[in-house]
Structure 1
Amino acid sequence: MRPYGWRRALLAGMAALLTANSDAPPVDYAAERAAIGRYQDADQRLQNVGWQLARGNIAFCPRVIPAIGLQLQDMASYGAPAIARVALGLTGDFAVQTAARGSPAAQSGAFTRNREIIGLAGFDPNQWPAGEKMDWQRLVWAHDHVDAMLAEHAGIAVTFADGEEARLTPVEVCATRFELMGAGGKAVADGNRVVIGIDFPAFAYPEEDVFAALVAHELAHNFLEHDAWLDRNGRSRRHVRRTEREADRLIPWLLANAGYDPQAGVTFMTRWGSRHDAGWLMLRNHDGWDERAEFIAAELPQIADLMAREGRADWRARFRREIDPAKGLAAGPRE
């Protein structure tokens, strides 16, 4: 997958929210704001859960980075930037998208949704060149710039359009970005990001820990470095199936360390799988949903014991691998 290819699809989906036509009736800006708000609500839920999982597992993930939990938005990425600016009451292009619950950005109280931004450590991202519409590259640059400042200077100053400034000190999180795709119902992980389509059924689940199980499955792929392993060993059906099984089994470990109910992994797989697993089952890149739920449930006694004795579920040391990270397949049942 080309880096940030999913972001192009994400923004193409978002463009459907804001399109302009000279022959169309006057724009209903209230409806546009509501449409953007629904997207932001879903993104907020994803960022909240992602942050909690990434913070809760920092003792075990392969790489940690400094982070503040801030997601930006850029009007240039919409299909009709002028409409987006008016709908959100902005004069420029950059504003707050989300501040993950419990993050430095959220705890500061300064990063309210749609608050306009004109400075990131002295650089005004609005001055960077952009295309006329659906230009996703500036948003990537902005997030990369924030990450670089946090790594190099252990903090960042963000300037708002009203002249106020917020200075944030980061905390460590596991190194994965979480992105909401504006259309589609897929969930993928590419080693650096977890990308979930806004139409994935789990967004309708009211329980946060059950939704978190979906995010934990994709995050497990990144933590266990499956994408790189498959690049080295080939993406045969057998290899993919083993990595999927491993990601399933790690779900309750990640949930437990983040303060979620590890049983929610079984609940998610049963609820989602019994309604939506037919396509996956036909491909046989995954086990059947009932088998997947059983594999997850089999991890629960060990996790409960570790949490009772040690207060954490050390999956780096205690989790049984389905693959050999350095070579090929680990010993296990025949496919």
Structure 2
Amino acid sequence: MMRGFALCGLSAVLLVAAASATALDRRAIDYGAERAAIEEFQELDQRLQDVGWKLARSNADFCQETAPSIGLQLQDMASYGSPDIARKALGLIQDFAVQTAAQGSPSALSGAFWRNREIVEADGANMSEWPASERLDWRRLVRAHDALDTGLTSNGEVTFRFSDASKETVKPVTVCRTRFELSGEGERAVADGKRVVIGSRFYGFTYSEELFAAAVAHELAHNLLRHRDWLDQNGRKRRNVRTTEREADKLMPWLLANAGYDPAAAGRFFREYQPSSGGGFLLRGSHDNWEKRAKVVEAEVPRIHSLMKREGRADWSGHFARMIEPENAR
């Protein structure tokens, strides 16, 4: 999986529209349809960011690696198949705008970051002036998000200037260090150690919020438990991969409980989903069957309920039983 926000599958119309102006009558473009396609993608992304924020924010006290965050995602017109069409469809002059502000995050609570609002500068930098390829260039967007992370870490805040000349300064809060990204193509959910990447055709988007959150929690668990590092050190034999999958399953209800979801939703997720549903959540031979997975996560729930009742939180950093040696996961 490439690093960055894979927007290239966002709209077939935008890809076709990447043809040169001489081969396409720009007057025939339905900019309303283009904007609707972008907004349809953003709706899915918003759902992912809202759930991801809840999980990452509420479990921050227990994560080994944390980061300051304001819960903001940007979009860059250079990421689209035809930047000029996307720019006109969204009513932008330059290239950067708000993609999402996660519900409950500092950016959302500020009220300043509504979807598609044009951003001219971030901490004095005009990101649209940074070099980028003519189309389908995700690298500048990654650079922009990295720059925001660096600024939040070093300065403890970031100041944005919008196209109407107004400014907004936002201070971060601490979250588990993971980015959540929606891919424009595919139906898989994967974790790469730093990101949770969900395909826009992922079947979990059809489920209730808490069942969708269970799927996201599974992928987040891989990152929080540093499974990629452990597999790099110990090899990707089938039994090793299966062990990390079982451990990620077990952590799901803990993450859900801290985020305010019913931890039993983890078990319901496995009972709801079947291989006939399609999707790429199951890799043949690397996971247990669905019934066994449901029973494994359900066995964690009584302990979680006890901790929540006694302590008000499910401290998995102190009470979760690892299946691999923690020192080998670092």
TM over 0.5: yes
Contact 1:17/1:36 (8 A) holds in 2: no
Which of 165, 168, 180 is the aligned partner of 2:167? 165
Which of 114, 117, 138 is the aligned partner of 1:115? 117
Contact 2:203/2:278 (8 A) holds in 1: no
Q: Cα deviation per residue 1:246-280 (whole Å; 9 max; x = unaligned)? A: 00111000000111111111111111235437987
- Provide the aligned C-alpha RMSD in A: 1.7
Kindly provide the amino acid, as one letter, of the partner of residue 308 in structure 2: M
DSSP-derived class of the 2:299 partner? helix
Confirm or deny that 1:18 pairs with 2:19: no
Q: Cα deviation per residue 1:27-74 (whole Å; 9 max; x = unaligned)? A: 111111111001000000000001100111011111111110000000
**Structure 2: how far apart are the matches of 1:199 and 1:270?**
20
- Partner of 2:327 in structure 1? 326
- Partner of 2:292 in structure 1? 291
- Partner of 1:250 in structure 2? 251
**Structure 2: how far apart are the matches of 1:279 and 1:67?**
29
Which of 178, 185, 188 is the aligned partner of 2:190? 188
Contact 2:189/2:281 (8 A) holds in 1: no
Displacement after TM superposition at 1:321 (Å): 1.3
- Partner of 1:148 in structure 2? 150
Which of 64, 79, 82 is the aligned partner of 2:81? 79
Q: Cα deviation per residue 1:168-224 (whole Å; 9 max; x = unaligned)? A: 01111111000000110011111111000011101011x211110011000000010
Kindly provide the amino acid, as one letter, of the partner of residue 85 in structure 2: I
**Structure 1: how far apart are the matches of 2:13 and 2:243?**
39
Q: Cα deviation per residue 1:275-324 (whole Å; 9 max; x = unaligned)? A: 43798777210000111111111111111111111111111111111111
**Within 5 A, what are the aligned runs for 1:15-164?**
16-19=12-15, 20=17, 21=19, 22-23=23-24, 26-164=28-166
Displacement after TM superposition at 1:24 (Å): 6.3
**Structure 2: how far apart are the matches of 1:32 and 1:251?**
37
Gaps of 5+ in 1: 329-335
Kindly provide the amino acid, as one letter, of the partner of residue 51 in structure 2: V
**Structure 1: how far apart are the matches of 2:281 and 2:314?**
29
**Structure 1: how far apart are the matches of 2:231 and 2:240?**
7
With 106-115 and 21-30 compared, the bigger mean Cα shift is at 21-30
Kindly provide the amino acid, as one letter, of the partner of residue 251 in structure 2: L
Displacement after TM superposition at 1:94 (Å): 0.2
Relative to 1, partners in 2 of residues 1:77 and 1:258: Cα closer, same or farther, differing over 3 Å? same
**Structure 1: how far apart are the matches of 2:24 and 2:128?**
30
**Structure 2: how far apart are the matches of 1:165 and 1:279?**
42
**Structure 2: how far apart are the matches of 1:84 and 1:279?**
30
**Structure 1: how far apart are the matches of 2:176 and 2:145?**
16
Relative to 1, partners in 2 of residues 1:129 and 1:37: Cα closer, same or farther, differing over 3 Å? same
| TM-score (structure 2 length as normaliser) | 0.94
Displacement after TM superposition at 1:133 (Å): 0.3
DSSP-derived class of the 1:129 partner? coil
Aligned length: 323
**Structure 2: how far apart are the matches of 1:270 and 1:72?**
36
**Structure 1: how far apart are the matches of 2:280 and 2:213?**
22
Contact 2:34/2:89 (8 A) holds in 1: yes
Displacement after TM superposition at 1:11 (Å): 2.7
DSSP-derived class of the 1:293 partner? helix
**Structure 1: how far apart are the matches of 2:24 and 2:279?**
44
Relative to 1, partners in 2 of residues 1:278 and 1:92: Cα closer, same or farther, differing over 3 Å? closer
Gaps of 5+ in 2: none
Confirm or deny that 1:315 pairs with 2:311: no
Relative to 1, partners in 2 of residues 1:190 and 1:17: Cα closer, same or farther, differing over 3 Å? farther
- Partner of 1:331 in structure 2? none
Relative to 1, partners in 2 of residues 1:145 and 1:282: Cα closer, same or farther, differing over 3 Å? closer
**Structure 2: how far apart are the matches of 1:40 and 1:91?**
20
Relative to 1, partners in 2 of residues 1:278 and 1:12: Cα closer, same or farther, differing over 3 Å? closer
Displacement after TM superposition at 1:92 (Å): 0.7
